[in-house]
Amino acid sequence: MPIPEEVTGDEIDKDVRQELQSLPKTLAEDVARNLVMVARLIDEDPEGAYGYSRVALRLASRVAAVREAAGFAAYASQKYSEALAEFRAARRMTGNVELWPVMADCERGLGRPEKALDMAGAPEVHKLDKAGQVEMRLVAAGARRDMDQLDAAIVTLQSPELASNSVQPWTARLRYAYADALLAAGREPEAREWFAKAVEADRDGSTDASDRLAELDGVEFTDALDEDGENDTAGTTDTAAATDKADEPEPAPQHSGADDAESADDAEAKKDVEAKNDVEAKNDEGADKD
């Protein structure tokens, strides 16, 4: 697969670069460049990232970092069986438990929420750091929801990390998951409260909590510009105003008593002038005959 010339492979994490030192230099550079492409594309183009991960895997399948990258690329592409196999391989190579939560989530993806719950209660969870334990809690709550155990999912998410006022990297996602579970259980006022708390903690826009909150508040967002770049909102307002004016009845003419009297006088004067003109015309006609 083509790789842009500006990608050198030096962009990868130093720990991964150290793992690649076991490979011949040229091969290590090729693997590193493919891993850089995986990292670049995994969010916006998971299938593209998956393609580069397969190249790296073909070149260096015995490097744990490569197996891990291949696992995440497969996971992002919803290839859960393949992802789980790669994560297991990476864990065997390193003995590290960091991948335990995402491995459990792969079980959910494969339609085995009971297995995910078993993993949530395994001894490996106690070896995870705080971020890993929160991630495991999120996966377990998701498994409960997969099994239509909404109340259990809510209880699973209730924890000191959820109650804490401090904002950590996982805070927004934890609050969001709790709000979503409350909403699914029909507890809308509480859900709104926790979506608002998720918005407060979501400093990098990792969730759509603000949109969910607006939806609960009945706020609708529309594009301000139409296809021609004109303001639809202003146009709609002007049209509505014009329509309202068109619907208003024409004001009836207002007459006062003085106006009526003046009109009567004008009509009488007009009749006098017309009669005078008729007399003068007859006199002139008689003079002409003489």
Residues 276-288 have a mean pLDDT of 46
pLDDT digits (tens, 9 = 90+) for 190-214: 999 999 999 999 998 999 999 999 9
Cα–Cα distance, 169 to 205 (Å, whole number): 12
pLDDT exceeds cutoff 80 at 277 = no
Q: Which tops the pLDDT comparison, 274 or 159?
A: 159
pLDDT digits (tens, 9 = 90+) for 6-52: 999 999 999 999 999 999 999 999 999 999 999 999 999 999 999 99
The pTM (predicted TM-score) of the whole model is 0.73
pLDDT digits (tens, 9 = 90+) for 167-181: 999 999 999 999 999
pLDDT attached to residue 263? 46
Cα–Cα distance, 68 to 5 (Å, whole number): 25
Return the beta strands (E) in 48-91 as ranges: none
Residues 132-156 have a mean pLDDT of 97
Cα–Cα distance, 145 to 143 (Å, whole number): 5
Contact at 8 Å (CB) between 42 and 49?
Answer: yes
Cβ neighbour number for residue 27 with a 10 Å cutoff: 12
| Chain centre distance of CA 191 | 18
Burial of residue 144 (CB within 10 Å: 0-12, 13-18, 19+) is buried
pLDDT digits (tens, 9 = 90+) for 71-126: 999 999 999 999 999 999 999 999 999 999 999 999 999 999 999 999 999 999 99
194 CB-near residues (< 8 Å, 6+ apart): 175, 176, 178, 179, 182
Cβ neighbour number for residue 244 with a 10 Å cutoff: 9
pLDDT digits (tens, 9 = 90+) for 248-257: 444 444 444 4
Q: Which of 82-86, 130-134, 148-152, 221-225 is least confident?
A: 221-225
- Return the biggest CA–CA distance within the chain: 142
